[in-house]
Structure formats: C-alpha cells, structure tokens
Amino acid sequence: MLRTHTCGELRIDHVGQQATISGWVQKVRDKGGMIWVDVRDRYGITQLIFEEGQTDQSVLDVAREVGREFVISATGEVVERVAKNDKILTGDVEVKVSDLKILNKSKTPPFIIDNDTDGGEDLRAKYRYLDLRRNSVRSNLEMRHNLLQQTRAYLSKNSFMEVETPYLIKSTPEGARDFVVPSRMNPNQFYALPQSPQTFKQLLMVSGFDRYFQIVKCFRDEDLRADRQPEFTQIDCEMSFVTREDILETFEGLIRYLFKEVKGVELGELPHIPYSEAMSKYGSDKPDLRFGMQFHELNDLAQGKGFVVFDSAELVVGVNAEGCADYTRKQLDELTDFVKKPQIGAKGLVYVKCNEDGTFKSSVDKFFDQDALKAWADKFDAKPGDLILILAGDANKTRKALNELRLEMGTRLGLRDKNKYAAAWVVDFPLLEWDEETERFHAMHHPFTSPNPEDLDKLGSDPGSVRANAYDMVVNGVELGGGSIRIHDREIQSQMFDALGFTKEEAQNQFGFLMSAFEYGAPPHGGIAFGFDRLCALFGGQDSIRDFIAFPKNTSGRDVMIDSPSLIDADQLKELHLGLVKPAKNS
Amino acid sequence: MLRTHTCGELRIDHVGQQATISGWVQKVRDKGGMIWVDVRDRYGITQLIFEEGQTDQSVLDVAREVGREFVISATGEVVERVAKNDKILTGDVEVKVSDLKILNKSKTPPFIIDNDTDGGEDLRAKYRYLDLRRNSVRSNLEMRHNLLQQTRAYLSKNSFMEVETPYLIKSTPEGARDFVVPSRMNPNQFYALPQSPQTFKQLLMVSGFDRYFQIVKCFRDEDLRADRQPEFTQIDCEMSFVTREDILETFEGLIRYLFKEVKGVELGELPHIPYSEAMSKYGSDKPDLRFGMQFHELNDLAQGKGFVVFDSAELVVGVNAEGCADYTRKQLDELTDFVKKPQIGAKGLVYVKCNEDGTFKSSVDKFFDQDALKAWADKFDAKPGDLILILAGDANKTRKALNELRLEMGTRLGLRDKNKYAAAWVVDFPLLEWDEETERFHAMHHPFTSPNPEDLDKLGSDPGSVRANAYDMVVNGVELGGGSIRIHDREIQSQMFDALGFTKEEAQNQFGFLMSAFEYGAPPHGGIAFGFDRLCALFGGQDSIRDFIAFPKNTSGRDVMIDSPSLIDADQLKELHLGLVKPAKNS
C-alpha cells in the first residue's frame, strides 16, 4: 500500500510513530515559516505540517508546489497538535512531514469540492467524478452500500435465495415502454430490458424456490419527470405458500430492521389502511401520516343552503389547519392561488376561521350563519384558533386537490420533519382501472395480481368493483414498495387477460410460457418490490434520488459526463440489420 | 403461511405434534389399504401416510386424485415410521394425514423431475421452470446464493464499497462487440450495455472511493461458443493507493476465504508464475497445476541428427507421461490422431517408451540411438515405465498443441480430479499483441492497463516487448479472474492510445471523460474482475456454466422458454426512429 494509515485513522495514541498517508489536498496554508496541508481521503482528513528550518528544503519545495486536489503521499512523525481541532477525529494530531511525493497533479477543479459547493447542477453532472468527492454525496452512497448489505442480510437470514434473472428478455406492450436491444444473431428481432423481473420470479416460485430476492436494475423508457431515472434499482422479492398477512409481516420486518440497523430508528407497527379509507381521509393512496389533518366531508351540512358552488358539487370536503385562524388575507390568497394552479386544478378555496372568541369568520358568510359554521367546526373537531379549508367539485379531482393542499399546509406548519418517519400499509386496491382513452380496463398493479377471493365472482360481471389482493408500503407520503398475492391458477389468469381485453392469441404470444407453467403445479405465491433509490433518499432525508445514485442521467435520459447516448458506426448498424429513420421536425 | 413446517423439517422430536406441510407430489404409492405420498419442497421430502379404515374416506378420495407434481397441503399427526429411511433427514417420521387439499393440479411433466432425468437439453431448456425443480440444479443455485453473500461479506469487511454503475452507457468500438439500445428521446442515438464497468470504476477511484466492488451483469455480443453467454456476471473490484502485490494479496484472500467458507477447502498460497514461464512450461497462460508434466525443450539434443522434422522445427518440445510405457500401438495411434485434429494442429507425434529394463523404444529409432534417447530421458527426469511424448514445429503453435496433449494425458491419467484445486497467479503478461490482420497492436488486457514501470521507455520504441502490470488468477486450468494496475497519468494514457493506433480525435471522442478525469488528481489504482458464473461452476465441480445460471440462453443467444428475442411492434420501431434491413440470404 502507498500508505500505512488512512487520512481518518491517526489519533493521539499514534504520537511518536512514523506514518505514511496518501490522499487529496483539501487546503494549503502557507504562513511563510510554516506550511499546513490538509490531506483528504474517503476516511477523513489529516493535517500535515512543514516548518522552515526543521523540514528539509527539498521537501518544503515540494510542499510549495502542491495545490487543491493534488494527490500526494506524505511520510513523517505523528505529533500532537498545539491547536487541536475537535471537529474531526484526527484533530488531536498532525504529521510532521519528512518526505513528500506528488503522485498526481490536478488542474484547479471547476467548482469547490466541499459540502457547500459553488458548482451548479450542470457543471457537477459533467464532472460527476469530482462531485462524488464531496463528503455529502459520498456519504449518501456509503449509506446505500450499508442498505444493500443489510437488506441482503435480513432476507438471507429469512431463507430468501438471491437469484439473478436475465436482463435480455422479451418485449411486451403491456405496461410502460420497454427499452429494446436489437439481436445481431437473430436478425430483425429484439430483446427488451426488464421493467421488473416479475414473470421470472413467478416462474421461480413454480420451480419451488420458495423464497426469492434480488436487488436488481430495472428499465423504463418513459418521459422522465424531474425525479425519474430510465434505469433504477429495485429490491425484488417473492414467496410461496403465503397469505397476504405473511408477506406484510415479513417485509414490515425488513423495513423495521433497516430503520433500526441503518438509522437507529424504531419504526413500530405499520397500520393497515384500506385504499378506500386512504382516499376518503387523505385523498391519496400514499398519505403522509406524519401528521393528521384528515379530510372531513361536508355534503350533508353544506349543501342545499343556496351556495351554488357547493350545491352543484359532487363533494364538499375540507381539512382543519390547527392554529391557523390568524392567517392574513395575503396568506389566504396564497393558498387560493396554490389550489388554483393548473396542476392542482381547484376552482377556489373556502375558509372558515375559528376565532378565539368562539365566533366564526368565513369566505361564505353570506350563505352560512354562525350556527351552520359551528356545526362544520364540530365535524372538523376544530377549536378556537383553527382554520378550516374547504374545496368542492368532482369527487376524485377535489380529493386530489385537497391532498395537495393538506401536504402544503403540513409543510407550512412544519409537520413534515424529514427525521420523523410514519409508515403504513395501504391495502385493498381496486384490481382494475377504467381508462377513458382506450375504453378498456387496465391493471392497477399488473395483470398477475390476484383478485380478492371474495370478489372473484365479479371479475366477469362487474370488473370495476373487484378488489385486488395487493398492498403498498407508504412512508412519509412516498410509495416505497408494493406488491400482491399473484394469480397461480391458469383459468383465473386467463379470465384476467380477458378482463384486460387481451385476445387469446395476444395472451398466449406474450405470456404463454407463464400460462403453461401454471399447468405444472404452481404454488400459491405473492411478492413485493421496493424502489431502492427512493428508499435511500428517504433514509438520507432528501426528496431527490439523484444524489443517491453514483452516475445518474438527466431528464433527457443523457449521461452528460460520458456524453451518452451517442451515434454509432454505420458498420454496427449494418451488422444489426438496422436503418435509421430521420425524426420528424416536431419530435 | 400455508404450512407449519417445511418438507425438510420434521424429526423424531416432532412425533405426536400436528403439522401442516405444503409442497409438490414427488411419488405416490397406492397399495390398496395404504397410500404413501412423498411431498417435496426446496427444503426436503416428507412422507405422508393414508390408511383405509383409519383415514376419512373423503381424504382418501383426495389422496387418490393426486399425481406427480400436484401442489398439495396436508395436515396431520407426525408419527414414527415403521420402516425408517436413513437417506433423508425426515426419514424417521411420516405424517398421518387427517386433511388434504389440492392447491393446484399438474399435467404430467414432460420429463422426470429428479437428479437423473430423461429430459434432453432442448426439452429442459423449454421447460426451464421444471428443470429448476431438480435438486441437482437447485443446489447449484443455492451454492451461487451462498457465494454471492460470502463474496460481499469479505469485500465489505475489507472496506470495499458496493457501488452500482449504470447499464445504459456509451458504445465504444474497442474490444468485443457491444449490445446497443436505441434512445427514443435522443433520436438516432444509442446507449450500449456495459462489457464491464471498467471506466466507471476507474472514475470512482478518481472520486476517492478508495475501494469499490460490484457483482454485476456484463454483456458481450459475440458469436457464442458452447459455454459463453451474451450476459454474464462478474465480481468487479478496484482499489486505490496500491501496488500489484496489495491486489494479489487482497484477492488471493477473497478466493481462499470463499474456498474455506463455501467448500471447506484450504487453498494455500498461490504461486506467482510469469507469463513467459507459463508458456514455456505449460504452453498456456492458464496452466492446470493439479499435475506436473511440465514441458522440456529438446532442440539442443534432438536437432542436427538428420531427422528433418526436428531439424526444420523452431521448437522440439515434449512431456513425460509417467507410467505410460505400456501404452499399446492403438493407444499411441489415438494420441497421434488427437494431436493431428485440426483444432490442435500438430503434424505428428514422436514417442519414447522408457522400458522397465532400462532400454528405450521410440518412433524415431532410425535417427536416435539408445544413448541419445537416454539423454532425452534424463532431461525429462523419466524413469523406467514412463512415456515421453514429443511435438515439433513452429514454437507458439507447438506449445499450444502440447498444452492440449498434456491436458489430455492429465485427464487419461486421472490427474484432473474436480475435487482437487490448484490455483496460481500468472503475472507479467505482454502489454500488447500484434494483430497480423489489422497490422496494429491490440491491448492484451485493455487500453487502461499500466505498462510495467521498468519497460515504460520502450512503449514508443519497442511496444511489443513491454510487459504489462497485469495478472490473472488461474484455478485448475481456468482463468477465473484478471486485472491490472491501471494507468493514472494522462500522458501515459495518451501514449498508450497512440501505441494502439487511436487518433487523438478517436481517443478524445471515446475516452475523453476519462482523460479529463486524469487531470484532476487521479490516484494510483488497480483492480480485478472475476467471472462469477465460472467461479460457481468451478465450485460445483462442473465444466459448464449453464446449470449455474437460473435462466441461461442457448448458443444462438435465445431464451427458448420465453421465446426471445422476438419481433416488436411497428409502432415501437417508429417511436425509436428505426427501420429494419432485410438480412442478406447468407447471413
């Protein structure tokens, strides 16, 4: 090794010893007679000292040559510092250098390599290898490493077998868009990259593997929103001979274990919330449960009083923002503007201030007297000093908008502390969603999700009312993972494909191998997948997954560091039997 | 759980308890009054018993319905067996069934699901999910799971950080052929799937990650030989501030640890064999060291005696097959036919039998008298009863042919026991290989391999003589892994690209990001990658990697189970701005 110790290793006990350390120059202070150089590696920072008259002139000359981010190797005696630094673990000592080598020079980096950096997003992306030198980014990836190891430890201990499933698989039009890979050896045919190893893990259950896991890259060619990546990592699991409760218990166990081991947090038991309740109480299937502020519906109290906005609404629903009765006109206007933003889509906002003196002031005083408002306040369990916020309109849209308002109020009230964690299972999702555009049902999870056995007879007659044997784990308003008990009966799988509008031929062509496998003794089974990038960001207390991925892509799917994707050789295209089509101007 | 115990769990201690077990029907024996059903899962086999008069008629009826590979769930009392089976761990007990459910039926499987199967390769590939039910295949994958966990445990303990590098990267014409992925969002541009994360792991060293590892899928679009897969798994590692010796020590430690933990084998220290010595003593850079039979060169003794085959040869070289002097004419003819096979390519084989009486009998008695043959025997350290086998011709080709003959003799003599392991490091490879066809040098490892510092000045003047700071780990004649100390200096990297015939523009276009990274403080670093599929096969004592991969592809790169690759929709092609070119008839 080109070192005897790392830059994070030397302590007061090492005083008097010789040490060689190697790393990057973080800082140089040259006070004429004395030079201090802070040298950094992944493990910490150590101070080097050079002294005019004591240090050899040749060594001093080298020390005066080094600059930020040079790679150096320094040998010398470990000495106690005069001025100690209790902010770093090596702060009691420094190395009195007797030999100094420059292992590699560095140009001045394009941005400051420190937790606070002056580099913008684009610059840091281009020089990602320098951005990764910053402690804040590297420590995210160290935590990711830890989460990887602990996840596998828990699952291995629980008899899960890690099995690698293939990356070059088959394209299926169902679901999101596939990335495809042309096959040279099978001209004009394509592989697809997996959106998930779903069918393979089910086949492993048919194979009797009993418990499977894999932490695996998955791929979706979607138009990227701010925090989506074309390739992402998933903790993928499947179990045989289980009921829903067995899966919830096992994976609640996993998440509790990770919180305990990696963050030292006791997560406690996860409540099970039916989808319908999540929607009516929070307007979302991934409610943020760090705070209450549940929805209350007002149709019975608020309709038929002549206020046409309410009277014409399918739903009148609100939340109680505790202690916000003193909101100013400006603040209330801000909230109104917030709900009227196109992506939220409410027509307006009704408020009721519960004054400290027991009276009420609302934006609809014209239609509702104090007694009426008192009845509302009672329903909301609102106390003097609280502020009730009400939206009205189409039920689904209004719930969705009120969910956004609830989250906004939670943020304003500081109820969404990133170091507090509230987790739950959301269960009993609808099996199918009606898609207005294509005029057919889509699988809410995927076509392999089992209907709730109680609802099985409605699959043919009233598909929209069938509940799925599916579940999502939600933490702090983020869907961390989801899964289902799967169909393991060929006949029911066939009915499901019918309900989704597959022809027999399409079903056979795309999933014939799975249908066929179900004829040879498929066990009851179910599973789950967790978004691993999202899990890392949650553990790191950040909203964006980007700094928990070593080499992320931008929102155009580009890696600007390596400049990819890129053009390929004509020879390559020829070998692949491909031609390029010039894109239309507006694409 | 749809069971209280697995099929491998019940013991004599459980007698008297109620148990529910679920699994697959392995065998049914119906003796009229008694029915026995063997039920199987991943953990073992348990015998169920049903008895006319004791078991409810309804349960007996169900028991008579079940057939091979049905999935059943049986509840009953654990009882001691009358006739015990000491071949299985559950052999002391059976379950006296009081309730039996068929969880899923099975058609008769297309082949017998047992270690010895009647299924041919093609049938088993098509029904891979059934093939995976066989204990012999599943236990390979269980070992693979174990190797995965132990590898990560060793590396994590040694401060290696697991970092996931991207799968959608950039195509580079250097090296093997890339699989490419068309980008929809960046029309007419392509990603490539990684042949290895080489440049990314080097960038992580530039980022100061110090020690990196990943067990990662890699992709090569090559014409597949019998035991190659288009996607394969690699243990990928890189370290900073190291010399070659540090890397050899660390990864010798890994392999020793794996042998100890997974196989209970003490591997011992690995000898370091220079490439030139491996070639001269074994004719191979991956010698099988389970046996000796080293090469001895005979040019000095065998040339100039009038035997034109030897006189005109660049090299006369042979091995001593101990105890084979009694080989018959037929056996010697077989060996001659063996070396004359086109893929081996020798012109003929000369033998010398060292008779028990101290005389010699050779195929070249006409040219060499007993004294001459005695001198040869002395050189080979051959004793009475041994057989010397000699080839002659072009040096490289003859060594290669003799390597094959040595391996063949090792096999015939039973010296290549799959349960014996002999490992070594081969070091000091040439940096560059001259390619006759393209009339330029190719990197023997890859363009990032550092030249041996002693040979650095010859990179411009005599590139062919430069040794690489590279190493391979060889076990039982198989290259298990390889790596090198990398170039970390921009100038030397630039010289290397020159030596390989890259123009400045090509180098910049393909590897500009790496060259650029080298300007910002790249530390000295090096690494290694192990073929994980190969490692599993080695540990499993098998030559083929196929049964150590859950879902392998065939030699045309097809997954015959899911029938992939396949055609994709015209809409998909249009979105990707791709057209298909009809392949030429002869392609």
Beta strands A161-162 and A211-219, pairing class: parallel
Of the candidates A133, A206, A577, the beta carbon closest to that of B129 is on: A206
CB B319 within 8 A of CB B409: yes
Q: Show the 3-state SS of A312-338.
A: CCCEEEEEEECCCCCCCHHHHHHHHHH
Among A520, A548, A553, A581, the strongest candidate for a mutation testing the B interface, having the largest count of B CBs within 10 A, is A520
B133 occurs within a structural domain: no
Q: B440 and B532 share a domain?
A: yes
CB within 8 Å: B562 and A170 = yes
Chain A nearest C-alpha distance from B188 (Å): 6
Taking Cα atoms as reference points, which of B372, B314, B408, B415 lies closest to residue B352?
B372
Contact flag B566-A170 (C-beta cutoff 8 Å): yes
pLDDT band at residue A470 under the 50/70/90 scheme: very high
CA angle A345, A347, A351 (to 5 degrees): 115
Whether residues A201 and A255 fall in one domain: yes
Distance from the Cα of B39 to chain A's closest Cα (Å) equals 12
Q: Which amino acid is at A227?
A: D
Q: Check CB contact under 8 Å for B163 and A141.
A: yes
Query: Which residue among A24, A103, A190 places its CB closest to the CB of B568?
Result: A190
Q: How far is A282 from chain B (nearest CA, A)?
A: 32
Residue after which a domain boundary falls, among B412, B447, B476:
B412
Please judge whether A181 and B180 are an interchain contact, meaning their C-beta atoms are less than 8 angstroms apart: yes
Statement to judge: residues A400 and A427 lie in one domain: no
No. of H helices and E strands in chain A? 17, 23
Nearest to B200 among A191, A524, A551 (CB): A551
User: Is the separation of the CB atoms in A45 and A38 below 8 Å?
Assistant: yes
Of the candidates B161, B177, B582, the beta carbon closest to that of A145 is on: B161
Question: Is the residue at B204 inside a domain?
Answer: yes
- Please state the separation of Cα B123 from the chain's center in Å: 24
Chain B residues whose beta carbon lies within 8 Å of the beta carbon of residue A173: 569, 572
* Cβ proximity of B187 and A221 under 8 Å: no
A524 with B127: Cβ contact below 8 A: no
Give residue A293's identity as a one-letter amino acid code. M
Task: Provide φ and ψ at A319, rounded to 5°.
Answer: -130, 160
Token pair of B206 as six digits: 């530039």
Structure-block tokens of residue A376: 């509302």
| Whether residue A173 has pLDDT greater than 80 | no
Q: For residues A456 and A183, give the distance between their C-alpha atoms in angstroms, rounded to a whole number.
A: 41
**Cα(B275)–Cα(B482) distance, rounded to whole angstroms?**
13
Give the SS3 label for residue B576: coil
Q: For the domain that residue A391 is a member of, what is the CATH number?
A: 3.30.1360.30
Is B164 in contact with A550 (Cβ distance < 8 A)?
yes
How distant is the alpha carbon of residue B264 from its chain centre? 20
pLDDT above 50: residue A587: no
The two three-digit tokens of residue B238, written as one number:
């890189």
CB contact (8 A) between residue A520 and residue B148: no
Instruction: Judge if A321 and A398 occupy the same domain.
Output: yes
Contact assignment for A568 to B243 by CB distance below 8 Å: no
In a domain, residue A404? The reply is yes
Contact yes or no for B551 and A166 at CB 8 A: yes
Q: pLDDT, tens digit, for every residue of A252-304?
A: 999 999 999 999 999 999 999 999 999 999 999 999 999 999 999 999 999 99
Residue B135, CA distances (Å) to B17, B118, B286, B509 in order: 28, 15, 32, 51
Does A385 reside within a domain? yes
Which one of B1, B6, B107 has the shortest CB-CB distance to A246? B1
Cβ–Cβ below 8 Å for A583 and B188: yes
Which chain A residues contact residue B554 at CB under 8 A? none
Q: What is the pLDDT of residues B142-197, one digit of tens each?
A: 999 999 999 999 999 999 999 999 999 998 776 789 999 999 999 999 999 999 99
- Among B363, B379, B412, give the residue marking a domain's end: B412
What number of C-beta contacts closer than 8 Å exist between A and B? 362
Across the interface, whether the CB atoms of A103 and B523 are under 8 A apart is answered: yes
The pLDDT, as a whole number, for residue B587 is: 45
Residue A202 lies in a domain: yes
Rounded to the nearest angstrom, the gap between the alpha carbon of residue A311 and the centroid of all alpha carbons in its chain is: 40
Q: Do A523 and B206 count as a contact with CB atoms less than 8 A apart? A: no
A117 part of a folded domain: no
Please tell me whether residues B169 and B97 are part of one structural domain: no
CB contact under 8 A, B191 and A551: no
Tell me how far apart the alpha carbons of residues A351 and A364 are, in angstroms, rounded to a whole number: 8
Per-residue pLDDT for A207 more than 50?
yes
B143 and B260 part of one domain: yes
Question: Per residue in B27-80, pLDDT tens?
Answer: 999 998 999 999 999 999 999 999 999 999 999 999 999 999 999 999 999 999
Residues of A in contact with B6 (CB under 8 A): 210
Residue of B73, B165, B168, B202 best to disrupt the A interface, most CBs of A under 10 A: B168
Distance, in Å, from the CA atom of A9 to the CA atom of A19, rounded to the nearest integer, reads 10
Specify whether A369 is located in the same domain as A453.
Answer: no
**CA–CA separation, A401 and A335 (whole Å):** 12
Nearest C-alpha in A relative to B106: A520
Minimum CA–CA partner of A171 in chain B = B568
Q: How far apart are CA B95 and CA B36, in angstroms?
A: 10
Answer yes or no: do A187 and B524 touch at CB < 8 A: no
- ipTM score: 0.95
Nearest to B148 among A145, A162, A582 (CB): A162
Identify from B46, B185, B553 which residue to disrupt to test chain A contact, counting A C-beta atoms within 10 A and taking the largest count. Answer: B185
CA angle (A141, B166, B229) in 5-degree steps? 125
| Residue A434 predicted with pLDDT over 90 | no
The verdict on residue B569 lying in a domain is no
Q: What is the pLDDT of residue B549?
A: 97
Own/partner pairs, B508-516, CB within 8 angstroms, 24+ separation: B510/B170, B510/B172, B510/B173, B510/B174, B511/B172, B511/B199, B511/B447, B512/A563, B513/A561, B513/A562, B513/A563, B513/B199, B513/B203, B514/B199, B514/B202, B514/B203, B514/B448, B515/B490
Shared domain for B439 and B517, answered yes or no, is yes
Q: Are residues A439 and A398 in the same domain?
A: no
B513 close to B493: Cβ distance less than 8 angstroms:
no
* Same domain, residue pair A59 and A181: no
Chain A residue at shortest CA distance from B575: A583
Please give the tally of structural domains in chain B: 3
CB A431 within 8 A of CB A476: no
**Nearest residue on chain A to B150, alpha-carbon basis:** A153
Q: Are B217 and B211 in contact (CB under 8 A)?
A: no
Name chain A contacts of B148, Cβ cutoff 8 Å: 162
| pLDDT classification of A585: cutoffs 50, 70, 90 | low
- Kindly give the confidence (pLDDT) of every residue in chain B, 587 residues in length, as a single tens digit, with 9 standing for 90 and above: 999 999 999 999 999 999 999 999 999 999 989 999 999 999 999 999 999 999 999 999 999 999 999 999 999 999 999 999 999 999 999 999 999 999 999 999 999 998 888 888 899 999 999 999 999 999 999 999 999 999 999 999 999 999 999 999 998 776 789 999 999 999 999 999 999 999 999 999 999 999 999 999 999 999 877 678 999 999 999 999 999 999 999 999 999 999 999 999 999 999 999 999 999 999 999 999 999 999 999 999 999 999 999 999 999 999 999 999 999 999 999 999 999 999 999 999 999 999 999 999 999 999 999 999 999 999 999 999 999 999 999 999 999 999 999 999 999 999 999 999 999 999 999 999 888 888 888 888 889 999 998 998 898 888 889 999 999 999 999 999 999 999 999 999 999 998 888 899 988 888 899 999 999 999 999 999 999 999 999 999 998 999 999 999 999 999 999 999 999 989 999 999 999 998 876 54
Identity at A390, one-letter amino acid code: I
Q: Which of B241, B244, B514, B532 to mutate to test the interface with A (most CBs of A within 10 A)?
A: B241
| Of the partner residues A23, A207, A563, the one whose CB lies closest to the CB of residue B133 | A207
Residue of A nearest to B487 (CA): A104
For chain A, give the number of residues: 587
Nearest to B165 among A42, A133, A551 (CB): A551
Interatomic CA distance for residues B47 and B80, integer angstroms: 11
User: Does residue A548 share a domain with residue A450?
Assistant: yes
Question: Is there a single domain that holds both residue A382 and residue A429?
Answer: no
In angstroms, the separation between the Cα of residue A440 and the nearest Cα of chain B is 20
Kindly report the CATH number assigned to the domain that includes residue A501.
Answer: 3.30.930.10
User: Which residues of chain B are within 8 Å of residue A522 when distances are taken between CB atoms?
Assistant: 71, 104
Domain assignment of residue A370, given as a range: 291-412
Q: What's the pLDDT tens digit per position in B1-30?
A: 999 999 999 999 999 999 999 999 999 999
**Min CA distance, A295 vs chain B (Å)?**
37
Could you tell me if residue A227 is inside a domain?
yes
Residues of A with Cβ-Cβ distance to B163 under 8 angstroms: 141, 144-145, 550
- State which of B104, B125, B159 marks the end of a domain: B104
Instruction: Looking at the complex, report in whole angstroms how far the Cα of residue A429 sits from the nearest Cα belonging to chain B.
Output: 22
Does B553 sit within 8 Å of A200, measured CB to CB?
no
Give the chain A residue nearest B491 (alpha carbons): A104
